[in-house]
Structure 1
Amino acid sequence: MTSIIKLHCLSGAGDESPPCYVLQIDEFKFLLDCGWDEKFDIDFIKELKRHVNSIDAVLLSHSDPLHLGALPFAVGQLGLNCPIYATLPVYKMGQMFMYDLYQSHRNVSDFDLFTLDDVDAAFDRITQLKYNQSVDMKGKGHGLRITPIPAGHSLGGTVWRIVAPGEEDIVYAPDFNHKKERHLNGCEIEKIMRPSLLLLGAANADYVQQRRRMRDEKLMTTILSTLRGGGCVLVCTDTAGRVLELAHMLDQLWRNKDSGLVAYSLLLLSNVSYNVLEFAKSQVKWMSDKLTRAFEGARSNPFALRHLQLCHSVVEVTRTPGPKVVLASFPDLEVGFARDLFLLWAPNHLNSIVLTARTSPGTLARDLIEKGGDRTIELTVKRRVRLEGAELEDFLQQQRIKINNSIKEEAGGVSSDSESEGELEMYVVTGRHDIPVRHDTRPTGCFKSNKRHHAMYPFHEERTRSDDYGEIIRPEDYRLAEIVDAEGEIRDVPPAPPPKQEPDEEMLEIPSKCVTSVRQVAVRASVQYIELEGRCDGESLLRLVAHAKPRAVVALRARPHAVHTLSKHCESEGIEKVFTPNKGETIDATTESHIYQVKLTDALVSGLAWRAAGDAELAWLSAVVAERARPRDADTEERADDELMSLEPTRGERGTAHCASFINSVRLSELRAHLARLGLNAEFSGGALECCNGTIAIRRLENGRVALEGVLSEEYYKVRELLYDQFAIV
């Protein structure tokens, strides 16, 4: 049986936008990755919103925002509610990516697209899988099976293999690396051989990659020359993906005493650097065979990096004396500590900026790669500053008003309309916890006394504010005594005087605001692009396609020239179907050419007579294809379903007789065993099964059918009945 396969490209087709696709197999819909670009394109979200309610499962291939950046928004804001599948490292490191991304934006702007609660809610829905662990889909996905295969490129990176009913084998490989690296094995290419459909990330189809040895020598030369010249090196990398390869490689260089690097500092700077390294230590079994054997033999963790210092702010970096190498996030230089250090170090000609990835067009890193440095560029600088002067007073005044209003609401919460009003009047709260006393406590009849009362033992207890987990922490109590100004100089900051407030008033966070300015930045530092993405290069990509021999290929996330290179290569290898969709297009990748998807109406199904055929049931169907009745107020989001035709009962022919169809392939050897159990002797003679002393013969014809010949008798009808029982007759 052949499945109907369609791929809708929400993003990541015909250009370098992040991968996000809806793969429909019959009635089941997979969301393949859920990436978001550095600019947080809202048009992409509008397109995703149209499909979010029809998604049945999400498959995540890598842990960076390029592959799952929009997942917290989809779950927290759009209401995506379906199973999500990923490997354990993608689950752990993906969460670190999103934490770092969110905090980096919150440090300089009022970021509100998603919250940390949205991140936690999204990752709580992930079902963690191991490599080569197959999972069967349920419900309308019955018969579908997904399997994660090692992809290289990043820790836990996945190539997804989807087996559909009818042995349709679909492979989704957006980013992979066939070469072994220091901390990762390569992609297991032998497990993706001869798929029916290959969804291939073809961004590098025309890319000529520099040899690994020359690349490492270039990085080493840049670092040594800069440090010995008294400058600092900024290596722009990601949070928890490719940074592991870089950190492991540089720490090994620092361990080599002959390199002379021990005299300099090696720093890892991100909001979650400590957590990333701790998670890496616990995921050695997901790494290369070499590191796994070393860990099992010497019990030495490859990510117990002795020379790597962990930092969580620019202040910690500037406090580190002397020339230094800093691995900072993010590689696009649009936000994060890498951008902050770029603004500080770019004007100094002694420093070096190392770019490790070709990020999306329009980002600062991409602009530096294409146009180089040694020029003055105009940048929008965002930062968060503390409130001062009149702004601070206005903020504090608003806080006082809110607190006073809350106190009044709490004080007025005690009602005097109670069953024992006379008794309660003695204990009315006048202040906060004052005990009032009356001059005369004797009852004066059925009317309430209007005598005034005064407070006895007045005491004002300071109220402790707390959240669900205990007392709220006051950030100002832990404020650093010094900060770094825009030019990178450390200046002392006197402790802020405590504002005049009520005893129970409390500041939940340091008052601040976000300001934006435009600066002219003179890029005098050396800007080097050293490709450390860990993706398959063009030559290897084309060889992989020729080796895998897929029946059909879909080129994803590739520029026009790369698409042309891949298409031309597929034609030379005899691959007939090569799809090159653009963003927003839907392709029909169904294997069979004459197969259509229709809806069965209730009127049609109710009149079917089902017959058992092994584990399945069959019925004869006589119907005509008609357009589905479409309500006038149908939502445009469901127009894809409305395009399906429906089957209606044939007018005047419902339930009419038809020629019987026999469904099954009978084996004469099994039929002989059945006849023996009934006491009828049967022997093979001349290719036919003869029974009842040769009076009845059962033979197979050239067209595959079975013929019954013989003398009409009681035994003849017994044999015929037994023969009919071997079929499902509809």
Structure 2
Amino acid sequence: MFTFTALSGAQSTSRASQSILELDGGVKVLVDVGWDERFDTRQLAELEKHVSTLSFILLTHATISHLGAYAHCCKHIPLFSQIPVYATPPVIAFGRTALQDLYSSAPAAATFLPASASPEDQTSIDDTTRSNILREAPTFDEINAYFGVITPLKYSQPHQPTASYFSAPLEGLTLTAYNAGHTLGGTIWHIQHGMESIVYAVDWHQGRENVIAGAAWFDGIGGSEVSEALRKPTALVCSSVNGDKVAIAGGRKARDDALLGHIRSCLSKGGSVLIPIDSSARVLELAWLLEKTWQEGTNDETLRNARVYMASKSAHATLRHARSLLEWMDDSIVREFEGNDDDNAVKSHKRSGSKQVNGASKTSRPFEFRHVRVVESQVRLDKVLKGEGPRVIIASDLSAEWGYSRVALEHIAQKPDNLIILTDRVNSADGLENASASTLWKWHQERPHGVALDKSLAGDQIEQVHTGGQELLFRDARRASLDEAELAKYQQYMATQRQMKDSLLTSDGRQLADAEDALDVDDESSSESEDEEDEQQGRALNVSAALTHGNKSKVALSDEDLGVSILLRKKDVFDYDVRNKRGRNAVFPYTHSRRRGDEFGDFIKPEDFLREEEKEAQEAMLDDKNTSVLGQKRKWSEDKNRHLKSNKKQKAMDYQPASGGAVDGDGLADASDSESDTEEVNLAPQGPSKIVYEEKRISFHARLAFVDFAGLHDQRSLQMLIPLINPKKLILIGGTQSQTVTLANDCKELLGMKVIGHENESKAEIYSPRIGEVIDASVDTNAWIVKLTRELAKRLQWQNVKNMSIVTVTGQLRAEGVQVEEENTAKKAKLTDETKESVVEDVVMNEYQPVLDALPLNVAASTRTATQPIHVGDLRLADLRRLMRDGGHSAVFRGEGTLLIDDMVAVRKLASGRITVEGSPISSTQRPDAESFRHVKRKIYEGLAVVAAG
């Protein structure tokens, strides 16, 4: 059984991705925890309902649309942080930096308190109908902790994941990650569970890029066939983004030339270029291209007089991670930094830390840019924007709703010589029609004020759209302190949250409020019944419902929610009826208080071990000097000053150029960076806060250009790859309605598959679900449960093939108890023969399970068929070679798909999966030909299951 539910990102303008895959046995897999620029918690409402039954979580890309809500769910949704998560190391590293940039740049990402303690009461995302009080956002330490528990996986290595403690057993589920392109570490997931083979591929890119390698659909470089592991899955989940778009002719080179053509055209006029892009994933591809262009363009006066800046609050961390993840990049990057092409240049410039390539100085360390300067502080960015001369600014985020792209856009938009380059098609999500990037994309498509034409270096024509001074609406979001009424509401909400978490005790004695206490399991927890597990999951949903349906003044829980804990949490309550109760409500409550300490034991307070004379000296010192000593708490002012000084020192160290690093020539010293951090800390409100919006309109005079730098599949690649993959079921998600319909119709013609939604078609092979729609995409939807008799079960002879057991069954199908039910039905009413027959048939189909029994000997002899036996399983030639070598034979590969054994037996595997064995007439002195031939076939049969007929 395999059912698929798209929680977000299906036939929608929002790029947020969330999907639930439910497999046989109650195994539930959540793929991606995406968000969009609205940061609306109602997008996570359906996800919260499934949390208590999830087995594990998979993350595909390190972008906000794929993991933007991960830290929020870990902090605010019970049980979520206890679910195992799997991703590749680049997704873990860059996902961490992306969320750190998000929460430090976008106040709205912290989300809002419910207007009436119930998110369901909010019927609109308008600020007038919801509270503007912000929740407590995840801190940097919490984000590091959330990503630190993710299990890293490598490409092409099968892994058997671990399920959460409240999940159903996985029973041999195998998980394998493959390269998806698009982002560094992007993943195509292959899930094998029983007869289900599911390939989950969203936002992939087949083509190779400067930094990011292409998707691993084919075997080897230049392969013509899809990899065997990804071929013919029972279900392919594929995104329909760009399903109706054709990529630019010429591929990567034409794309890069178009981008550089726009940049040169603007810089030659003395203007500045702004490129909004994400802060961690695609920014590496763009920054690498500009760094390489500036290195090779030392003789180009246009490039020599312009500076390039990479503006993001996590830019240094992004580059630091990139330096340690070279093995995940394209092979050309690895060869370049290993110096395989220019070993002599590396040796001659070993002391200087750089080498000469085509006459230009180049750093010997990966991603240590000499021309792309990093900007992390707000004050530093302001100085860059106020400076003179042409410049190129790569700023986060792509949406231009938060981050430094939002700040730079307001400044660059005012001059007609400046240029804003859009790198992705922006579809307006519901409620974000007036967003900056959506408005700019709309202007670029409509072109009401004409187009300026220019030529690139390659001679291709480029277009830049005039904006003509149109007004652009800006909404600045900033934090502000709470007043007394808002502070009381915030404290009331937090008190309710704490009581909810404290009262939510699992039946084995674990407390959900503390993830560390999840290891303290009672010895009797293993003997709980399935009913109690259901009760536990139901209790989690009940508490979640209590969170959403409680009214404003409700601080404490109701007696029903407290259960037996009412004896501890309410005064003057000394009795509780435990009759007919199960689980924790059947025994007296006990709260386990965990002793806190470090790795050496309990915490030690030095002041507890002072001698009397030392205590007197300490008190005297405190009276004379208002300073702190060992073991005493520091005052807030002292701790704050100490924090600012250390932060200033750390920032100064971060901005110190390394050997061969970029040295700014614009007069911006490192001291200004540290001062900027101090100013930002002083301006930020401490404690609970709210969000305040300020709207303003500016006249937009800068020009617009578009270069598709998203690195995603297009219509041609989808039409080429999907028929080669040849899935039995195709599920399309991740695109708009028009893109999904267009791709579904194309696949219908290419594959000859049927599209769901037509009443006269009984089988649906192509699915295009909507958000929240549950579809059944099992390998065989016409399946029934059959009970085997003891006599038949004793006759079964099981054969093992890898992790599966196979057996042939021949029996007769019957239903037990039909005659008894028929007599009972006859006693109830006086019916005609026709009516009586229809009633009995209906009762049997609804009430009784079919039983498969062994055939009598006389019937079995007369029903034997002449069908030839078949072989079930898949034997790899590499495994066969290992087996033959272990048996003392020589086995080598000769040609494509041919294994030569003992120089006389050739084993070939055809594209259909069939294995042929051919013997050579030349005799061997070591072993006769016939004996080798039989030995090879015996080894092949050992890896397959022979299913006999009859």
| TM-score bucket (shorter structure) | 0.5 to 0.7
Whether 1:365 and 2:437 are equivalent positions in the alignment is yes
Per the alignment, residue 288 of structure 2 pairs with: 248
Unaligned runs of 5+ in 1: 395-426, 436-455, 481-491, 496-505, 626-646, 668-725
Does 2:693 match 1:516?
Answer: yes
Query: Aligned-pair distance for 1:196?
Result: 1.8
From the superposition, tell whether residues 655 and 55 of structure 1 become closer, same or farther in structure 2 (CA, over 3 Å): closer
Is 1:226–2:255 an aligned residue pair?
A: no
Maintained 8 Å contact 2:731/2:766 = yes
State how many pairs are aligned.
561
Matched letter for residue 135 of structure 2: D
Partner of 2:3: 6
Contact 2:723-2:751 within 8 A present in 1 as well? no
User: Shift of the alpha carbon at 1:508?
Assistant: 12
d(CA) in 2 for partners of 1:371 and 1:37? 22
Unaligned runs of 5+ in 2: 111-132, 163-167, 219-226, 347-363, 445-466, 488-611, 649-671, 676-680, 754-764, 818-844, 862-866, 870-945
Q: Secondary structure at the match of 1:189?
A: coil
Paired AA for residue 156 in structure 2: N
Shift of the 520–57 alpha-carbon distance from structure 1 to 2, 3 Å rule, reads same
Deviations 1:162-213 (A, max 9, x none): 12212x3211111111111011211111222222211011111101222344
Q: Which residue pairs with 1:398 in the alignment?
A: none
Q: CA deviation at 1:226?
A: 2.4
Equivalent residues of 1:96, 1:276 under 8 A apart: yes
Contact 2:473 2:698 in 1 (8 A): yes
Amino acid aligned to 1:216: D
Query: How many percent of aligned residue pairs carry the same amino acid?
Result: 28
Q: Which amino acid aligns with 1:208?
A: V
Query: 2:94 maps to which residue?
Result: 93
Picking from 146, 150, 153, the partner of 1:126 is 150
Displacement of 1:532: 0.5
Instruction: Report the CA distance between 1:459 and its aligned residue.
Output: 3.2
Partner of 2:603: none
Identify which of 765, 768, 771 aligns with 1:583.
771
- State the shift of 1:554 in Å: 0.7
Question: Do the aligned partners of residues 381 and 215 (structure 1) sit closer, same or farther apart at CA in structure 2, a change above 3 Å counting?
Answer: same
**Matching residue within 340, 349, 358 for 2:416:** 349
Partner of 2:716: 539
CA distance in 1: counterparts of 2:109 and 2:214, whole angstroms: 38
User: Quick one: distance in 1 between partners of 2:108 and 2:746?
Assistant: 47
Structure with greater strand share of residues: 1
- Larger mean Cα displacement after TM superposition, 253-262 or 140-149: 253-262
Q: Is the 8 A contact 1:105 1:111 kept in 2?
A: no
TM-score of the superposed pair, with normalisation by structure 1: 0.68
**Residue of structure 1 in register with 2:85 after alignment:** 84
Distance 1:217 1:523 in 2: 27
Q: SS state of the match for residue 697, structure 2?
A: strand
Tell me if the contact between 2:436 and 2:472 (Cα under 8 Å) persists in the aligned partners. no
Cα distance in 1 for residues equivalent to 2:109 and 2:39: 16
CA distance in 1, matches of 2:157, 2:245: 33
Contact 2:279–2:312 (Cα < 8 Å) also in 1:
yes
Partners of 2:789 and 2:852 within 8 A in 1: no
- Match among 747, 750, 767 for residue 573 of structure 1: 750
| Corresponding residue of 1:20 | 18
- Alignment partner, residue 560 of structure 1: 737
| 1:462 to 2:627 alignment | yes
1:606 Cα deviation from its structure 2 partner: 13
- The residue that corresponds to 2:169 in the other structure is 140
Compute the displacement of 1:568 (Å). Answer: 1.8
The 8 Å contact of residues 624 and 648 in structure 1, kept in 2 or not, is answered as no
Return the match for 1:163 from 192, 202, 223: 192
Partner of 1:149: 178
| Paired position in structure 1 for 2:447 | none
Q: 1:237 maps to which residue?
A: 277
Instruction: Report deviation, 1:221.
Output: 2.7
Secondary structure of 1:592 counterpart: coil
CA contact (8 A) 2:3 2:23 kept: yes
Report the structure number with the largest CA radius of gyration: 1
SS at match of 1:554: strand
Amino acid aligned to 1:206: D
Is the helix fraction higher in 1 or 2?
Answer: 2
Describe the superposition over 1:626-663 as per-residue Cα deviations: whole angstroms up to 9, x where unpaired. Answer: xxxxxxxxxxxxxxxxxxxxx99979x9999996999x
Q: Distance in 1 between matches of 2:778 and 2:136?
A: 37
**Which of 704, 716, 722 is the equivalent residue of 1:527?**
704
2:814·2:853 contact (CA, 8 Å) conserved in 1?
Answer: no
Aligned mates of 1:553, 1:654 — CA distance in 2: 34
Q: C-alpha displacement at 1:293, in angstroms? A: 1.7
Q: Which moved more, 1:29-38 or 1:203-212?
A: 203-212
Distance 1:591 1:282, change over 3 A: same
| Cα-to-partner distance string for 1:119-152 (whole Å, 9 max, x where unaligned) | 2343123110111011124572222211111111
Match among 475, 478, 492 for residue 380 of structure 1: 475
Look up the match of 1:193.
231
> Which residue in 2 is equivalent to 1:500?
none
Structure 2: distance between partners of 1:118 and 1:254: 39
3-state DSSP of counterpart to 2:101: helix
User: Using the alignment, how far apart are the partners of 1:164 and 1:433 within structure 2?
Assistant: 67
**Equivalence for 1:293:** 335
Per-residue deviation, 1:432: 11
**SS of equivalent to 2:106:** helix
CA distance in 2, matches of 1:100, 1:655: 61
**DSSP 3-state at the match of 1:339:** helix
Taking the aligned partners of 1:206 and 1:655, their CA distance within structure 2 comes to 51
Cα distance in 2 between the residues matched to 1:655 and 1:368? 66
Q: Is the 8 A contact 2:107 2:477 kept in 1?
A: no
The structure 1 residue matched to 2:138, chosen from 105, 110, 115, is: 115
TM superposition shift of 1:608: 12
Correspondent of 2:397 among 306, 330, 334: 330
Decide whether the 8 Å contact of 1:171 with 1:197 is kept in 2: yes
Pair 659,103 (structure 1): closer, same or farther in 2 beyond 3 Å: farther
